[in-house]
Amino acid sequence: MDIGIDQMGLYSPDFYIDLRQLAEVRGDDPDKYTIGIGQDEQAVPPSSQDVVTMGAAAVQQIQASIDAERLGLIVLGTESGVDASKAGALFIQKLTGLPQTARVLEIKEACYGGTAGLMMARDYVAAHPTKQALVIAADIARYGLNTAGEVTQGAGAVAMLVSAAPRLLVINDDSAVHAEDIGDFWRPVYTNQALARGKYSTEQYLRFFQLAWAAYKKATGLGLADFKALTFHLPYTKMGLKALRQVLPEADAAKQQDLLMHFDHSIQYSRRIGNLYTGSLYLGLLSLLENDSSLAAGDRLGLFSYGSGAVGEFFSAVLVEGFEKQLHGAAHAGALNARRALSIAEYERVFQDAVPYAKADYQTNPDYYAGPFVLTAVTGQERQYQAR
């Protein structure tokens, strides 16, 4: 039985900054950001956007394909959740009117949470072939003003509907995993800003990719020649490029050029949005599908997921007949083009507006209400959401 992704939705905040401007203000060479890091723009979430509002907006885009009778599982993968106990997916269920008869939960393992949810969804459908499962990967990547990680921030959500006979791609049951307790990146529960050993984390990402890729090749007998394109978790696009370059020598010159060309399509959205943590790999996948007109049904794609802490997983997917008819590239490009650019000074105000975890009640800033759902306030320490 073929199981995989039937539909994909994407939402990212309606505000962004130009990273060349950020470089100038921070006293860095703009080329470091756009070439060295590989990022052009960065989504800026106002205080009214969080993983719930962004996740709900992404779900809304694919809602027409959700069958209330068949939906059995709703999973939110996130590492910037809004509550240490309650699943953010319950807020999303209510905001989008999803059925109350599905299991609802939140999953956490840094940026790997989206893949964990996707694999759980695939296994769930394998056990219950008539069912659908909804996976939401949503995050706000936040390191702080004037930090080394600032240029690699971002925000947004990807929603994926998983079912048998999927209309986009089949996820093969061929994963190779490497999991190991390391201290490359973490976020204590009292803060909304991540802590990272930057350079070390990039080395670990590459090491985990190498281990997963070697295990994958050994188990399947496949190699680079069997893949049309490789897509990667993209904390910033240069990171994915480094991983790809690690394995390129395994292919001939023509294949190397081909893989680099496809990779370039897979980073278009990421260059403009930034890191989505759990959603990042799937933002790359969506960018590839929506921007690469040379893809065809039957093509095999390789996906590498990495979540600090750390878990790395490499797996493959195969495009199905008619996949291009299920995509919404023009709408996604239109939404990115319609965003409002913030000056760096305004971005810094919006950034500081974001609510520290220790604060009790507050109102979010209505000047920045945008998107289909907003967090309006926290009253009595409970979050108040609204559809707009």
Report the sign of the C-alpha dihedral through residues 108, 114, 115, 116, in that order.
positive
Site for ligand CAA contains 308 (CB under 6 A): yes
98 Cα distance to chain centroid: 22
Helix (H) or strand (E) holding 15: strand 15-18
Does residue 320 touch ligand CAA according to CB under 6 A? no
Distance CA 342, CA 301 (A): 36
Site string for ligand CAA, 260-279 (x = CB under 6 A): ---------------x-x--
Give residue 200's identity as a one-letter amino acid code: Y
Restricted to residues 172-211, the positions that interact with ligand CAA (CB under 6 A) are 184-185, 196, 198-199, 201-202, 205
- For the CB of residue 129, give the shortest distance to ligand CAA in the complex, in Å: 34
Under rule CB under 6 A, residue 19 binds ligand CAA: no
Contact pattern for ligand CAA over residues 211 through 250, marking x by CB under 6 A? ----------------------x-xx-xx-----------
**Can you name the residues that pair with 163 across neighbouring β-strands?**
4
Query: Among candidates 155, 114, 139, which has minimal Cα distance to 15?
Result: 155
**Smallest gap, in angstroms, from Cβ of residue 71 to ligand CAA?**
29
Q: Rounded distance, CA 274 to CA 28, Å?
A: 18
- Rule CB under 6 A: say whether 38 interacts with ligand CAA: no
**For residues 100 and 93, is the Cβ–Cβ distance under 8 A?**
yes
Residue 292 C-beta: closest distance to ligand CAA, Å: 23
The catalytically annotated residue of 111, 178, 262, 313 is 111
Q: Cα separation of 183 and 204, whole Å?
A: 10
Q: Residue 138: how many CB atoms within 10 A of its CB? A: 35
CA 174 to chain CA centroid, nearest Å: 21
CB nearer to ligand CAA: give 150 or 346. 150
C-alpha distances (whole Å) from 255 to each of 220, 223, 237, 382 are: 20, 12, 20, 54
Beta bridge partners of 158: 10, 137
Q: Which of 282, 304, 306, 315 binds ligand CAA (CB under 6 A)?
A: 306
Under the criterion CB under 6 A, does residue 54 sit at the interface with ligand CAA? no
Residue 233 annotated as catalytic = yes
| The only residue of 148, 261, 296, 331 in contact with ligand CAA, by rule CB under 6 A | 148
Residues 84-123 that bind ligand CAA (CB under 6 A): 111
Length of the chain: 388
Residue 24 is a catalytic residue: no
**In terms of Cα–Cα distance, which of 29, 19, 117, 114 is closest to 73?**
117
E-strand spans in 46-141? 71-77, 103-107, 132-141
Residue 11 binding ligand CAA, by CB under 6 A: no
Residue 124 within binding range of ligand CAA, rule CB under 6 A: no
**Active-site residue flag, 79:** yes
Task: State which of residues 10, 22, 23, 37 lies at the interface with ligand CAA (CB under 6 A).
Answer: 37
Catalytic residue among 79, 106, 109, 290: 79
- Binder to ligand CAA among 9, 113, 117, 149 (CB under 6 A)? 149
Please identify, using beta-carbon distances, which residue of 235 and 372 lies nearer to ligand CAA. Answer: 235
Rg (CA), the chain: 20
Q: Toward ligand CAA, which CB reaches closer, 62 or 230? A: 230
Judged by CB under 6 A, the number of residues near ligand CAA is 28
Which listed range, 29-37, 121-129, 250-258, 291-299, lies at the site for ligand CAA (CB under 6 A)? Answer: 29-37
Q: Which is nearer to ligand CAA, 37 or 170 (CB)?
A: 37
CA–chain centroid gap for 230, Å, is: 16
Q: And the tokens for 248?
A: 């390129």
Q: Cα–Cα distances in Å, from 78 out to 89, 257, 290? A: 10, 34, 24
Question: What's the CA gap between 140 and 81, in Å, rounded?
Answer: 9
Question: Which residue has its beta carbon closest to ligand CAA?
Answer: 36
Give the active site residue among 109, 178, 233, 262. 233
Give catalytic residues, as residue numbers: 79, 111, 233
Binding site for ligand CAA (CB under 6 A): 29, 31-32, 35-37, 111, 148-149, 151-152, 184-185, 196, 198-199, 201-202, 205, 233, 235-236, 238-239, 275, 277, 306, 308
